[in-house]
Amino acid sequence: MKRRNFLKNSSLTAAGLVSASAMVACKTETKPEETVVAPAPVKPIKPIVVCTWNFLNATDKAWQVLKSGGSSLDAVEQGVMVEEADVTNETVGKGGRPDRDGNVTLDACIMDKDGNCGSVVCMQNIAHPVSVARKVMEETPHIILAGKGAEKFAYEQGFKKENLLTESTRKQYQEWLKTSKYETIINIENHDTIGMLAIDEKGDIAGACTTSGMAYKIAGRVGDSPIIGAGLFVDNEVGGATATGVGEEVIRTVGSFLIVELMRQGKSPQEACEEGVKRIMQKNKDRKDFQIGFLAINKNGETGGYCVHPGFTYREYSEKGHENKEVTSFYS
């Protein structure tokens, strides 16, 4: 390099350094002092139980288990069993509406604080699929048992065979046969699946979900409710989520897993449920013919819910008492 250019470059560099350091100095001088405020410690709400829809007796049962020091796993199992046994609830357990061949086929799953899970799909003749799902989780190396295999396993575990069709659902089915065109219609009326999430006194989270699925579904159809990640997901570090409504749409977005992951990224249960529904609606811009409701809880016991159409509620029970929570919806 020629001396003249060298000097020129050096002086430029020096000038650059001077001005850069002046800027740094200037920046340092003018920067307002940052006060680091530690987030206020959140006292977790526990125990607490929430479930889809307004199932008073189911949350009561789960609350009794939690209050007597029971685990969240026992609470959610025993809580949803109340609805499985209630023949007036025609979308869960005994008394659930049948498929289009007249058979009641049940779906259920359960998940514990350690990420263990069990599920039964399309199982007939057993009134408490959630308990069979728990047996799958605890007594087998598998997660999902289906149809006849699930039923056989249930008998081996001591469950009794029961006729799940009631007089009421049999009559409704026969009426439906008269008018049915056997179309695969996704409806928005088929509610009352119970998804339940609980935190026990130790702060551990568990969840369960159980349903007879869509009324008059094609034989063999399985919805989201027994699919881990879709109808239910629990991560003891973060929280849990569950879904009700048209299972096909929930499966497509792996809804409950999505919501738990959104909470992991910092969203509140409410914000996560809203984002979950919005994701689904982005893919269904022109459709108004289905309902979905999401319910979520985080590790602090904060809860939230959101749905496509108005009408979805969830029930919460904690030391604060019993509350039926109306949620806002995408189409208000």
Q: Which is nearer to ligand SD4, 202 or 287 (CB)?
A: 287
**Is 221 marked within a binding site?**
yes
Q: Which 25-64 positions form the footprint of ligand SD4 (CB under 6 A)?
A: none
Q: How many residues bind ligand SD4 (CB under 6 A)?
A: 15
From the candidates 193, 242, 303, 313, give the one annotated as an active-site residue.
193
Per CB under 6 A, which region of 15-23, 148-156, 211-219, 281-289 contacts ligand SD4?
A: 211-219
User: Nearest CA to 197 among 256, 266, 274, 140?
Assistant: 256
Minimum CB distance to ligand SD4 smaller for 247 or for 304: 247
The torsion region of residue 251 among left (phi > 0), alpha (psi -120 to 50) and beta comes to alpha
The reply on whether position 249 binds ligand SD4 by CB under 6 A is: no
**By the 8 A CB rule, do 91 and 192 touch?**
yes
User: 226 or 301, CB closer to ligand SD4?
Assistant: 226
Could you tell me which residues come within 8 angstroms of residue 104 by beta carbon, excluding any fewer than 6 positions away? Answer: 94, 96, 97, 98, 124, 164, 165, 169, 212
Q: What is the DSSP string of 178-194?
A: HH--------S-----E
Our answer to whether residue 193 is catalytic in this structure is: yes
The packing angle between helices 129-139 and 147-156, to 10°, is 80
- Decide if residue 214 touches ligand SD4 (CB under 6 A): yes
Q: How far is the CB of 142 from ligand SD4 (least distance, A)?
A: 21
Nearer to ligand SD4, 213 or 239 (CB): 213
Q: Is 213 in the site for ligand SD4 (CB under 6 A)?
A: yes
321 is in an annotated binding site: no
Nearer to ligand SD4, 140 or 324 (CB): 324
Q: Number of C-alpha atoms within 13 angstroms, CB side, residue 325?
A: 25
In the set 89, 211, 253, 318, which binds ligand SD4 (CB under 6 A)?
211
Residue 244 marked in a binding site: yes
Tokens for 7, please give them: 């000097």
Q: Given CA atoms 89, 92, 98, 103 in this order, what sign does their dihedral have?
A: negative
Q: x/- binding map, residues 171-200, to ligand SD4, per CB under 6 A?
A: -------------------xxxx-------
Is 50 part of any known ligand binding site?
no
Distance, in Å, from the CA atom of 217 to the CA atom of 98, rounded to the nearest integer, reads 8
Residues 225 and 195: beta-carbon distance below 8 Å: yes
Among 99, 224, 235, 316, which residue sits at the site for ligand SD4 (rule: CB under 6 A)?
224
Query: Which of 210, 244, 303, 329 is the binder for ligand SD4 (CB under 6 A)?
Result: 244
**Pairing, β 144-146 against β 117-123:** parallel
Q: Determine which residue in the list 247, 255, 276, 305 makes contact with ligand SD4, applying CB under 6 A.
A: 247
Structure tokens at 280: 């689904």
- DSSP-based three-state secondary structure for 18: helix
Name the minimum Å distance from CB 232 to ligand SD4: 10
Instruction: Provide the annotated binding site for substrate.
Output: 221-224, 244-247
Residues that bind ligand SD4 (CB under 6 A): 91, 190-193, 211, 213-214, 223-225, 244-247
What amino acid positions are annotated as catalytic residues? 193
